[in-house]
Structure 1
Amino acid sequence: MRRAVVLVVAVAALLSACTPPTPAGADRDLVNGWPMLPAVVMIEPTAPACYPLPAGTASADVTRWPAPVACTEPHEVELITVGRFTGADAERPTPPIAGSPAMRGAYTRCAADAKTLLGADWRTGRVSLSVDVPSPLLWDAGARWFRCDLQALQDVDRFSVATRTASMRGALKPDGGELLIGCVKVTTKPGGATDAIDRIFAAQCTVPHEGEFAGIYEPPDGEYPADSEARSAANLAGCRPVVARYVDVPDDVNFRSRTGQVTMPYDKTAWELGNRGVRCFAWPPKPVKSSLRGAGTKGLPITIA
């Protein structure tokens, strides 16, 4: 609209300089009688709502959202909260990026609201949480919202999005949430080292399985550890007490003689957003047929390799 006004003013100035004769029936007012262009209308998202997405599409990659559908219809995204950037965060010329205080604040809000809806920390389930912001074009037009979007996952390790026909409300409630990560089947890479993990699948605790989710280790805040080996060692050390508490075994010199561990950290982008969590799994030396929760030293006895 502003550019159009500038052009009109420029043309008017040229015409004034030339002072051509006024045709009959014209008053040389270029805007008089013209209908005004309609104001730009931005439809902000509203929550709760569910959205269908093309297969393989992550919510963060969406540039144009489809119309919402009832959550009882097939969908891939559940919008749980719409917040707003305010103050200096809203005065930025471009949308906030991961690592900025604005995005960290938005993530904190989204994680808290997701916990309320799901019944537990979203990271304890086959769930993905994203903080989605307006595109630069929408931001330039005045949009200042952020979306808290949940997606259910088909698996534990590949983050394949599932299609649902129900809300995720209560999906992580203790002792019965349908999307909780519990017992898992752990496979190693063919021909690789015995500790080279290939896949992690959800499994029933009553059938032979190789591992079990024990909880979340939250490293202290700070810069993302750049050294991958140091990062891996820190994750294993941080997960040890998490696994020990879950199984109810001592975190002592005999711990490694009882069980191995699988750690599943989130990436650098998630860290900068405020999610430093590491998923911790018990990985006993042989398959078990029941849950290790509270099993104690009988559930994980000292073994000799």
Structure 2
Amino acid sequence: MTGRGGRRARRLGVTLAAVALTTVLSAVLAGCGASEPEPDAPPPDSDPAQVDAVESPELGACRLLDKDDIAAAADATPTVPCGKRHTAQTYAVGELPDQLQDTDYDSQEMASFAYRTCGTMLREFLGADESLSMRTVLSWAWFRPSPEAWDQGARWYRCDVVGGGEQITELVSLPETAKGLLQGRPDDRWMVCARGNTVAGSVKLPCTEAHDWRAVTTIKLGEADDPYPGDRLSEVQSRDFCRKSVQAWLNYPVAFDFGYTWFGEVDWASGNRRAVCWARTGE
């Protein structure tokens, strides 16, 4: 959920809206729905060998995924040479741990495992810490076997780095390999900005495009074992912490505008403890 702080921190009225920031969290709930999913016909351009594959996917493979693909629980999009245009690269493949072998196909435990595993391994792959990874247009999507392959005993998972998320109009192309892409000072084309009067409802885009807001910091709202503090406290803490954080990032001006994106109970249960802070940049 997104709010906006005000100039000199006076206009603190907040408009709450359910938004999915283009971060690692847009992928956490991808494909999470009913516990007994109805199998869908695979897209016509699917690779038949991957549709109901029991064997684990290929590590390092590249694909030209779109937004519909990354919202699905399973994916059989054909691989493409990584030297050609692609929007996704598989950076982690493995077997689900023993405690998830008998879980439901769309359980919360699966989503939490994906958030911890794919999120941690993405940061290692890109060369980013948690704060930086939440302020980039690079995200991750995770996939599991099809329901048919699941019924046959397949229990693998696949994590893909993707060039965007739900709020990006079109996924951006990746370099031949995304490994180490955020090390040092990342290029603005990988950082997330927003265009609009407020952060809520704005268009999220790479910072190389004309924008009004930039995601500049994140703040931590709790520790791993802390219970969810509730919507109101999460929103108030995000507002107050981001006001101070953005003011410091702007070198303590008297007048400034800031915004914040906080995440609710479902994301907290999956492992996220941070909110994203935005500065109006006038660029």
What's the TM-score bracket when you normalise by the shorter of the two chains? 0.5 to 0.7
Unaligned runs of 5+ in 2: 1-51
Deviation at 1:57, TM superposition (A): 1.6
Asked if 1:43 is matched to 2:51, the reply is: no
Provide the aligned C-alpha RMSD in A. Answer: 3.4
Asked if 1:82 is matched to 2:79, the reply is: no
- Which one of the candidate residues 72, 78, 81 is aligned to 2:83? 72
> SS at the partner of 1:124?
coil
Deviation at 1:164, TM superposition (A): 3.7
Task: From the superposition, tell whether residues 71 and 236 of structure 1 become closer, same or farther in structure 2 (CA, over 3 Å).
Answer: same
Which one-letter code corresponds to 1:132 in the other structure? F
Deviation at 1:48, TM superposition (A): 1.3
> SS at the partner of 2:261?
strand
- Which one of the candidate residues 118, 125, 130 is aligned to 2:126? 118
Asked if 1:57 is matched to 2:54, the reply is: no
Asked if 1:174 is matched to 2:189, the reply is: no
Asked if 1:187 is matched to 2:184, the reply is: no
CA distance in 1, matches of 2:97, 2:57: 17
Q: How many residues align structurally?
A: 227
Task: From the superposition, tell whether residues 118 and 165 of structure 1 become closer, same or farther in structure 2 (CA, over 3 Å).
Answer: closer
CA distance in 2, matches of 1:105, 1:135: 18
Which one-letter code corresponds to 2:260 in the other structure? T
Task: From the superposition, tell whether residues 56 and 103 of structure 1 become closer, same or farther in structure 2 (CA, over 3 Å).
Answer: closer
Matched with 1:26 is: none
Identity %: 20
> SS at the partner of 1:188?
coil
1:85-100 correspondence runs (5 A)? 85-92=96-103, 94-95=104-105, 97-98=107-108, 100=109
CA distance in 2, matches of 1:268, 1:112: 20
CA distance in 2, matches of 1:152, 1:90: 31
Task: From the superposition, tell whether residues 123 and 41 of structure 1 become closer, same or farther in structure 2 (CA, over 3 Å).
Answer: closer
Q: Is the 8 A contact 1:77 1:150 kept in 2?
A: yes
Matched with 1:109 is: 117
1:22-73 deviations in Å (ceiling 9; x for gaps): xxxxxxxxxxxxxxxxxx97221121111223x4323241544123222122
CA distance in 2, matches of 1:44, 1:264: 36
Unaligned runs of 5+ in 1: 1-39, 190-194, 250-254, 290-305
Asked if 1:259 is matched to 2:262, the reply is: no
Matched with 2:216 is: 214
1:153-202 deviations in Å (ceiling 9; x for gaps): 289x44642244522223322323354326x464227xxxxx86633544
1:252-276 deviations in Å (ceiling 9; x for gaps): xxx7x43221113356544332234
1:269-294 deviations in Å (ceiling 9; x for gaps): 4433223432211226xx3x6xxxxx
User: Greater relative contact order: 1 or 2 (C-alpha under 8 angstroms, separation 6 or more)?
Assistant: 2
TM-score (norm 1): 0.61
TM-score (norm 2): 0.65
Asked if 1:240 is matched to 2:243, the reply is: yes
Larger Rg: 1
